[in-house]
Structure formats: structure tokens, C-alpha cells
Amino acid sequence: MGKVKIIATIGPSSEKPEVLKELIKYVDGIRINFSHGSAEEWRSRIMNARSLRSDIAVLGDLRGPGVRTGSMKPITLGVGDSVEFRFADKSDGGFVPIPSPSFFRVITVDDIIVMNDGRLRLRVDKVSASNAVLTALTAGTISQEKAVVIKGKDYPLPILDDYDREALKFAVEVGMDYVGISHVRSSDDIEEVRTELRRLGGDWIKLMAKIEGPDAVRNMKDVICASDYVMVARGDLGMHFDLEEIPRIQSSIIREAQKCGVPTMVATQLLESMIEQPVPTRAEVVDITNAVMEGVDSLLLTGETAVGKYPVEAVQWLRRVATEYEDEVHVDRGVMANLTDRLALGIVQLAEDIGAKIVIYSRGGRFVEAISRYRPRVPTYVGVSDEKVLRRLRLYWGVEPILIDNVRDYDEGERETLNQLIRSGLVVKGDLVLLTHGVIDTYNDYSIRILKV
């Protein structure tokens, strides 16, 4: 696997056994979108993926607080057409039903409503407590269960509704590794989800904040530093902000995450053309390259692998482009928050100076996360004894985790990790190895050994 990690959304196009078997060879993780499908479908996709690779990381993406259209017949609009949005659960086609009163409380005249991933835009002309009249600025079709975004505004809704609470319960039951929190507005939202996971007994699950709305951008530092991972969710960002602002926002998120020591993922339209075509565009290749060289930990494919015609080709191309440029990453190595960071940076620099492979034994993964933060230019392997920790580390830049069984302490863990790497051929005769273990506060005799195999 490469240093930049690849995640694929599993959906109708990629869940077929023959497709999944091939796709799984090129990815480090899979994503389940809780906004679509049923618990039975989600469970089947996860179990099938793990039957092929038990060490695959699994991300569950919450639907998040938002407003969606109710049950309705599709309404097709041309530019300049007028349409009524009404507070209702369903419609026979004469208006667009909006089951949430929050929509009518938040919108004002001249607000821009964005739907269908930004392709449909409407202007609010009139509004009351239970209905609104809008004019289509672009042509498109409104259908049921579609997200209704107010450009530049977040809805004042609880971060978790009953639907997402059930999704969290499912995530704990199947042993997911990450949960993505959609429409985050502040660090309080993250803590609320974390509290709910603890209540459900899923405290091992790490939280990925999706930065996609205006409040999250305004509160960027607090949101990122409260998270375990952060996603640059460009789909919704593109609906809240002008498109020319998105590259600047993406760069700001990546830089702030690096300061906080939090890994980053970039998502949406990385290979959008490959939903229909077997080869990416030049612009898509440049987009991926820019994200890789900015230092992101991982890249997420959504529609390309969920509903696209070429899911396997998409992950192959993403891996091919990312691998080509991942060694040209330059991150700020002057950012050090604590002793662990200073020690991690020292190990990375020493290993690079002498050309040694880094071999670590870790129990919780915290020290490995610090090593990854400084983007080591040498192979980095970590032995862990907990499969949950192994799957989590799968999504960290430049880290190759392996499972080590039946070790009593750190010294034995170091030895067995090195032995297993030698047996597998990842460390060979003549290699220089920097051997160490994860930092723990009560471990007073910390050692770093340099060995020639």
C-alpha cells in the first residue's frame, strides 16, 4: 500500500462480490454512507469486505442535521420558473413539501437555496411561517428525500436525531473504526457524539469531523483540535461557498489540522468523470496531486465507487496518481505540542539521516500518530496487538501496521514486530532498522536501538 491512504465508498456498483474482491486490493478503508440504504445493506457490505481483508478500516458517515424534501412527485424546473415550498410531509406534485419548520425560520428573502449537489439553485422571493415562493436560477428537478441547503447558513438543529442515534448504535454493533460527523458546527457537536458513543459502549470509535458548512469554517481550529480526524467535505462546501473559495478553504483546513496533529481526508469529485468514463481528466489528476502535495493523509472516493461504472479503475487511478507524488510532501516540522511530538520528530529525522527503516511496537497508537504527523520519508512499520488499533492506523499517512500476538511487554513486542517483518520480507539482510516502542508516561527506561539486519 502507498503512504497516502485510499478509501472507497461501497454502494451498488462496488458491492458485487467480483467487483469488491478486486477493489479491496487497492484501498486502505471503506466508507458506508448512512444517508442511503438499510442496516441490512450496510452490514452485508462491511462483512463482505472484512471477509476479504480483516484489517480494512471502516468509516460510517452519519447523515447529520439537515432539511430534506418530503414524499413527493418530481418537479422539473426551467430557469425563471416559480415553485412553492410548503411546510408539509408529502405532496401530490403541486408544491415541494418541507417537513421541518426550521427551514422557514431560517430563510429570508434573497437567500439562495442549493440542491442536487449544487446543480439546482433557487432564490427565495417570499417567505412566511409555513411556506415560501422561490425562483429557479438554474434548471433542474426536485424529488423526494433531497437535501435542501441554504447557502451560507447552518440549521439550528441537534447534531444527533433519532436516525443518527440508530446509526451510531449500528456502528458499535459491527465494530466500525471511524464515524464521520456531518454538518459539524462546533466542538460541542463532536463532544455530544463522543458522549453518545461512550454511552453505547463504543469508545474505541474515532470521530471524523466533516468540515462542510459556514459555522465549521468559522470555528475551524476548535472543531479540528477536538476531532480525531477531519474531512474536507468539498461537496457541501461547494454549496455554501463560492467555488473559487474552495481551494483556499481546503488549504486552510489542511494547515490547521497539521498544527493540531490531526490527520486529514479530502473528499468529493476527485475522479467525478470516472462515474461515466474509464480514464480521469487531466484536471482531476492535477487536483489529486495538489491534495497529496499539501500533505493529506487520505483521499476518499464517493460516487465514483458507489454508483460509478468503473469503481475498480477509479481506485487504481487514485492509487497510481497518489503514489507518484506522495514522496514530494513537505510539512511544517517545526510544530511540536509536547514531548511525544519532539521525540517523534527526532526519530523521523534520525531514521532519514541514516537511511533506516522505522520499526515501532505500540499498544494504543498515540506515538505512531505523532510519527505519521512528520511524514517520514523512510518505510515505517508498527506492530500492534489490538486489531481495532491496527484498523484505525490504516488511515494514517506512511504507516504500515501489522498484527502481533501474544507479547507480554514492549521489549518483546519490539522483537516480535521485527521478526515478523523479516519473515514477511519487508525487512531484509543489510537493512538498517531504528527500533523503538510507543511512549507511555510511566515507562522511565525509554530506548531507541539501531540495528543492521
**Does residue 138 form part of some domain?**
yes
CA distance 348 to 24: 30
Secondary structure class of 357 (helix, strand, coil): strand
Q: What is the pLDDT of residues 284-328, one digit of tens each?
A: 999 999 999 999 999 999 999 999 999 999 999 999 999 999 999
- d(C-alpha 424, C-alpha 41), whole Å: 36
Let me know whether 175 and 308 are in one domain: yes
Query: What is the number of structural domains in the chain?
Result: 3
Question: What would the mean pLDDT of 415-432 be, rounded to a whole number?
Answer: 95
Instruction: Identify whether residues 186 and 220 lie together within a single domain.
Output: yes
Q: Answer whether residue 249 shows pLDDT above 90.
A: yes
CATH number of the domain that residue 188 is part of:
3.20.20.60
Last residue within a domain, chosen from 326, 348, 369: 326
| Residues 381 and 404 grouped into a single domain | yes
Mean pLDDT in residue range 241-265: 95
Grid cell at residue 315 = 481506485
CB 80 within 8 A of CB 136: yes
| Statement: residue 20 has pLDDT above 80 | yes
Domain match, 352 and 207 both: no
Of the residues 150, 185, 211, which one is the last residue of a structural domain?
150
Residues 168 and 123 in one domain: no
Q: How far is CA 96 from the centre of its chain?
A: 32
Judge whether 333 lies within some domain.
no
Q: Which residues contact 453 (CB under 8 A, 6 or more apart)?
A: 422, 427, 428, 429, 430, 431, 432, 433
Query: Which pLDDT belongs to residue 395?
Result: 98
Q: Are 54 and 188 in the same domain?
A: yes
Identify the bridge partners of residue 167 per DSSP, sorted by sequence position: none
Q: Which CATH number does the domain housing residue 128 bear? A: 2.40.33.10
pLDDT of 369 reads 92
pLDDT of residue 381: 97
Alpha helices in 73-122 (DSSP H): 101-106
Residue 127 counted as domain residue: yes
Q: What is the pLDDT of residue 441?
A: 54
Q: What is the pLDDT of residues 347-362, one digit of tens each?
A: 999 999 999 999 999 9
Least confidently predicted of 216-225, 350-359, 393-402, 435-444? 435-444
Neighbour tally for 30: CB within 10 Å: 25
The one-letter code for the residue type at 299 is: L
Q: Mean pLDDT, the chain, as a whole number?
A: 94
319 and 372 both lie in a single domain: no
In a domain, 215, yes or no: yes
Residues 6+ apart with CB under 8 A from 228: 178, 206, 207, 208, 262
AA identity, residue 31: R
Residues 225 and 320 in one domain: yes
**Secondary structure (3-state) at 185:** coil
Q: Is residue 234 part of a domain?
A: yes
CB 236 within 8 A of CB 149: yes
Q: Is residue 70 part of a domain?
A: no
192 shares its domain with 262: yes
Shared domain check, 144 and 172: no
- CATH code (residue 383): 3.40.1380.20
Write down which residue in 326, 354, 380 finishes a domain: 326
Residue 331 lies in a domain: no
418 contact partners, CB below 8 Å, separation of at least 6: 359, 427, 433, 435, 451
Closest listed residue to residue 416, CA positions, set 30, 210, 408, 81? 408
Helix axes 366-373, 339-354, angle to 10 degrees: 60
Are the C-beta atoms of 114 and 127 separated by less than 8 Å?
no
Side chain identity, residue 39: A
Same domain, 367 and 436: yes
Please indicate, yes or no, whether residues 115 and 146 belong to a single structural domain of this protein.
yes
pLDDT at 442 over 60: no
Domain of 413 in residue numbering reads as: 339-452
Please tell me the predicted confidence (pLDDT) of residue 1: 75
Q: Tell me if 272 is assigned to some domain.
A: yes
